[in-house]
């Protein structure tokens, strides 16, 4: 009810349209080379609906469908497509969290570090070419979802 209509458009444009357009832009180059990797950054909110994120969560669900469709479409061209879905990452993206919630999450070990996400992406990219790691979900051990 409280969502700003322009903010809804901005979020959907960034999380859905921009990703699809970026993939569309690089596809011809990768197809020409006969290989490539596309890793889409999603979110754990796209794995389990977050009721406090009624726009963000479905935008990330959309990316899972997109990744699965593109993986099937591009596989024959030697292009692997996957997504990484982190839980809360200790980063600037949490700047809108209330200070008390952020403090409690840090104390409870309910945040992961950007390096954890980077290591998962490297794992996805460095596997043998005949293996596609399509979906990686990265959660802090104490995160309950």
Q: What is the pLDDT of residues 42-87, one digit of tens each?
A: 999 898 888 888 899 999 999 999 999 999 999 999 999 999 999 8
Q: How far apart are CA 47 and CA 58, in angstroms?
A: 9
3-state secondary structure 6-60: HHHHHHHHHHHHHHHHHHHHHHHHHHHHCCEEEEEECCHHHCCCCCCCCCHHHHH
Q: Tell me which of 104-108, 123-127, 134-138 is least confident.
A: 104-108
CB 79 within 8 A of CB 30: yes
One of 3.40.50.720, 3.90.650.10, 3.40.50.300, 3.40.50.20 is the CATH number of 5-138, namely: 3.40.50.720
Active-site pick, 11, 56, 133, 139: 56
CB 104 within 8 A of CB 128: no
Q: Does residue 119 have an active-site annotation?
A: no
**Segment 111-117 mean pLDDT:** 92
CB 43 within 8 A of CB 56: yes
């Amino acid at each position: 009810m409280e969502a700003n209509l322009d903010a809804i458009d901005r979020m959907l444009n960034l999380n859905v349209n921009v990703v699809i357009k970026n993939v569309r832009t690089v596809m011809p180059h990768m197809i020409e080379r006969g290989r490539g990797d596309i890793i889409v950054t999603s979110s754990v909110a796209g794995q389990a609906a977050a009721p406090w994120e009624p726009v963000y969560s479905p935008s990330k669900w959309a990316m899972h469908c997109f990744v699965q469709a593109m993986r099937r479409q591009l596989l024959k061209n030697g292009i692997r497509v996957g997504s990484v879905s982190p839980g809360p990452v200790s980063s600037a993206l949490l700047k809108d969290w209330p200070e008390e919630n952020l403090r409690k999450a840090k104390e409870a070990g309910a945040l992961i570090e950007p390096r954890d996400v980077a290591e998962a992406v490297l794992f996805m990219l460095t596997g043998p070419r005949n293996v596609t790691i399509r979906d990686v979900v990265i959660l802090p051990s104490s995160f309950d979802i």
